[in-house]
Amino acid sequence: AQKVTQAQTEISVVEKEDVTLDCVYETRDTTYYLFWYKQPPSGELVFLIRRNSFDEQNEISGRYSWNFQKSTSSFNFTITASQVVDSAVYFCALRGGTASKLTFGTGTRLQVTL
Amino acid sequence: DTEVTQTPKHLVMGMTNKKSLKCEQHMGHRAMYWYKQKAKKPPELMFVYSYEKLSINESVPSRFSPECPNSSLLNLHLHALQPEDSALYLCASSQDQSSGNTIYFGEGSWLTVV
């Protein structure tokens, strides 16, 4: 069985602060894929990143960075210099083996205030 | 902007009504999905279509009836719904069902059953 845990239910930061969203996963598959999605209040799930289990390189995209560590089964997401527009619910998700099903974590609500 | 388009964005229907949610994608994807999302919960998979054939039905009640008229379109027919079916319904697509493919979501249809 697959499982994704996002222990942080809600995080509040002041604009320009850095914030890290945690994601821990469980899977028995040797090949699997990890994803992060952003869901603003409008409802759309916006794809942010996909990482496969064989690629542990960290990735940076503008103010966003991701740290993938297989040793701790974690795929954490950091926003540097947060902005009000970053306010949303962020979901970490896992897809493994031949499964077409995307297993989501429970989401972390990020509130960025001025 | 999302390349998965859903209509209508908002729908209010009575328990005896028949209505449909529509979804369209022009990315040439051959897998399409319906997800249901209740407030403060992650999305839950309902149906998967692969090459226009129903591939997965996650034990969804028969009052929800999916249809895939062609490779670009996906409908969800609604009949005799209950108030607890009120939720955000998300359509999504991916290149195919393989777990390594990213699933792209639409903006969702907010459904209220009265």
Contacts of A31 in chain B (CB under 8 A): 99
Q: Above 80 in pLDDT, residue A97? A: no
Which whole number is the average pLDDT over B98-103? 90
- In the predicted model, what is the mean pLDDT of chain A? 94
Reference B100, options A13, A26, A95, A87; nearest CA is: A95
Q: How far apart are CA A66 and CA A39, in angstroms?
A: 18
pLDDT at A52: 92
Choose among A45, A50, A106: nearest Cβ to B105.
A45
Q: Above 70 in pLDDT, residue B1? A: no
Band of residue A84 on the pLDDT scale cut at 50, 70, 90: very high
Question: Is A100's CB within 8 Å of B55's CB?
Answer: yes
pLDDT at A114: 94
- Tens of pLDDT along A34-81? 999 999 999 999 999 999 999 888 889 999 999 999 999 999 999 999
Band of residue B100 on the pLDDT scale cut at 50, 70, 90: confident
| Proportion of chain A above pLDDT 90, given as a percent | 86
Reference A82, options A65, A96, A94, A98; nearest CA is: A65
Q: Is A62 helix (H, G, I), strand (E, B) or coil?
A: coil
What percent helix, strand, coil does chain A show, rounded to 5? 5, 55, 40
Contact A100, B55 (CB under 8 A): yes
B2 shares contact with chain A (CB less than 8 Å): yes
Question: Is A44's CB within 8 Å of B41's CB?
Answer: no
Work out whether the CA dihedral B87, B36, B75, B28 comes out positive or negative: positive
- Tens of pLDDT along B42-57? 999 999 999 999 999 9
- Tens of pLDDT along B64-74? 999 999 999 99
- Tens of pLDDT along B16-38? 999 999 999 999 999 999 999 99
CA distance B87 to chain A (A): 11
Q: Is A13 helix (H, G, I), strand (E, B) or coil?
A: strand
Q: How far apart are CA B112 and CA B83, in angstroms?
A: 7
pLDDT at A101: 84
Question: Is A105's CB within 8 Å of B56's CB?
Answer: no
Contacts of B34 in chain A (CB under 8 A): none
Which A residues 5-64 touch B at CB under 8 Å? 31-33, 35, 37, 42-47, 50, 52
At a CB cut-off of 8 Å and minimum separation 6, what does B29 contact? B71, B93, B94, B95, B96, B104
Reference A88, options A57, A60, A66, A110; nearest CA is: A110
Q: Above 80 in pLDDT, residue A98? A: no
- In the predicted model, what is the mean pLDDT of chain B? 95
Interface size, chain A vs chain B, as Cβ–Cβ contacts under 8 Å: 61
B31 shares contact with chain A (CB less than 8 Å): yes
